[in-house]
Amino acid sequence: MNLPLRISLILALCWITTGVKAGILLDKSIVEFSDGGTPRQDIWVINDDTENAYVKIQVLEVLNPGTGEETRDEVTDPDNISFVATPSKLVIPPKGRKLVRLVNLAPIGEERVYRVNFTPILPPLEEEEGATVRVVIAYQVLALIHPESPVEDLQVSRQGDTLKFHNKGNSYVLLGGGSQCDAQGNNCEDLPARRLYAGNEWQVTLPYTDTPANYSITNFKGGRKETIQ
C-alpha cells in the first residue's frame, strides 16, 4: 500500500534483555515538485533522544513504479544525478534538529518518483554492555515530480464484486478512504487503498455485489469523493 507513512522500515537486531532505541522523527513523509514551483523541498530531521543521532540519507530512483517490474536504484552516478538530498549524513545533538534539502535537478518532463531513506546509524556495542536488543527505526520519504502538463484519466469499471482501476493519465492518482455497505446501509467495510502511477492498473474484490462503493480520489488537482455504482 503506497500511502503516506511516517515509519516505513524497522530493522531489529535482537539478542536478549534491555532495549536501545534510536529516536529520530521527520516533519514530512511526502514531498511534491511541480512545473513552475520551487525545485527544492526541506525536511527537518529531529532527534528525540538524549544522545547524538547519526543519520545516513540515501536517494533511490523508483523505476516502473507500482508495477511488477518496479525497481529502486540508489542514485550514485555524479554524471547522471537528477535528484539529490543534501547533506547525505547528519549528526544531530540530543533534542536538536537539522535540515535536509531535497533538490530536483532535472527539467520537468514525465512523472518521476524517488524514495529517500533516513537511517539512524548506531555506534558499535561496547563489550561490557553484554546482551541487548537494538532497534533501529528508519524512515522513508516519497518524492513525487509531477509531469510538465499533468492530465488525469482514471478509468473505472465494475462487474459484480470486481472493481477495476486503470490510470491512463500521466500523473499519479491516490485511492483511499474506500468503503462499501450492505443494501441496508449497515455492515460497512473498509476497502484497500493504493497509489496508482501513470499506466498502473489495479483490481479490488468488493464485499458486496449489489451496492455502490465509495472512494476518495486525490491527485495534482486536489481531492474529491466518488461513488462507484
Do 170 and 157 contact (CB within 8 A), yes or no? no
Give residue 30's pLDDT: 96
Name the phi and psi angles at 90, rounded to 5.
-135, 145
Question: Is the predicted pLDDT of residue 192 greater than 70, yes or no?
Answer: yes
Give residue 123's pLDDT: 72
Q: Please tell me the CATH superfamily of domain 7-145, with its number.
A: Immunoglobulins (2.60.40.10)
Do 143 and 137 contact (CB within 8 A), yes or no? no
Give residue 126's pLDDT: 63
Q: pLDDT tens-digit profile of 42-85?
A: 999 999 989 999 999 999 999 999 999 999 999 988 788 899 99
Give residue 17's pLDDT: 33
Q: pLDDT tens-digit profile of 134-181?
A: 677 889 999 999 999 999 999 999 999 999 999 999 999 999 999 999
| Domain 154-228 architecture | Sandwich (2.60)
Distance (Å, whole) CA 117 – CA 178:
29
Give residue 80's pLDDT: 84
Cell for 156? Answer: 473505472
Range scoring the smallest mean pLDDT among 16-30, 70-84, 93-107, 159-173 = 16-30
Q: What percent of the chain has pLDDT over 70?
A: 86
Give me the residue spans of the domains in the chain: 7-145, 154-228
Range scoring the smallest mean pLDDT among 24-33, 38-47, 115-124 = 115-124
* Residue 122: DSSP 8-state: P
**Same-fold call for 7-145 versus 154-228:** yes
Distance (Å, whole) CA 198 – CA 219:
11
* Residue 18: DSSP 8-state: -
Give residue 122's pLDDT: 82
Tell me the pTM.
0.84
Range scoring the smallest mean pLDDT among 75-84, 91-100, 122-131, 207-216 = 122-131
The Cβ of residue 134 has, within 10 Å, a number of other Cβ atoms equal to 17
The Cβ of residue 9 has, within 10 Å, a number of other Cβ atoms equal to 13
Give the chain's length.
229
Question: Is the predicted pLDDT of residue 219 greater than 50, yes or no?
Answer: yes
Q: DSSP 3-state assignment of 51? A: coil
Give residue 8's pLDDT: 39
